[in-house]
Amino acid sequence: SAKMGNATQKAELGRSTWKLLHTMTAQYPEHPTTEERKALQQFFMLLSRLYPCGECAAHFQLLLKRYPPQTSSKIAASQWACAIHNKVNERLGKDIFDCSNIQEKYDCGCNTTEDENDSSSSSE
């Protein structure tokens, strides 16, 4: 069975989670509402409590205290997520990732918010 103490399982979970986090922030609104900001903030707080790797969760909670999630815009959230991932990379002795093209890399083309320029066609 898949024990999270297993390094391969832990890495696979990490890759999947980072993919979700970066794709989420790349799709986050340019101009979020108060509710949207609260939702993203809470998502990260809850993730840091529920993440199914105890060591990772504990460390992530410390990172969130030190570097609170930036929720004011898509750019702010994406850059914050890239920076926090780099903090984990640094701790694990991995290369630091260049955050300048983060938007293109994680654009899934699956935007469903009404905060974009083409919001008039969002109801299809």
**Residue that is written with structure tokens 């986090």 in the block:** 21
Tokens linked to 7: 């390094």
The whole-angstrom separation of Cα 77 and Cα 25 is: 6
Task: Give the shortest CB-72-to-ligand FAD separation in angstroms.
Answer: 19
Asked whether 21 and 15 are in contact (CB, 8 A), the reply is: no
> Is there binding between residue 108 and ligand FAD (CB under 6 A)?
no
Tell me the window of 9-17, 24-32, 66-74, 109-117 that interacts with ligand FAD (CB under 6 A).
Answer: 9-17
**Host H or E run for residue 60:** helix 54-66
Tokens linked to 34: 């108060």
Range list of β-strands (E), 22-112 = none
Tell me the window of 14-22, 23-31, 35-43, 114-122 that interacts with ligand FAD (CB under 6 A).
Answer: 14-22
Contacting residue, 9, 17, 61, 111, with ligand FAD by CB under 6 A: 17
Each residue 53-72 as x (binds ligand FAD by CB under 6 A) or -, in order, gives --xx--xx------------
Contacting residue, 11, 46, 62, 108, with ligand FAD by CB under 6 A: 11
Residue closer to ligand FAD, measured from CB, 28 or 51: 51
Distance, CA of 57 to chain centre: 14
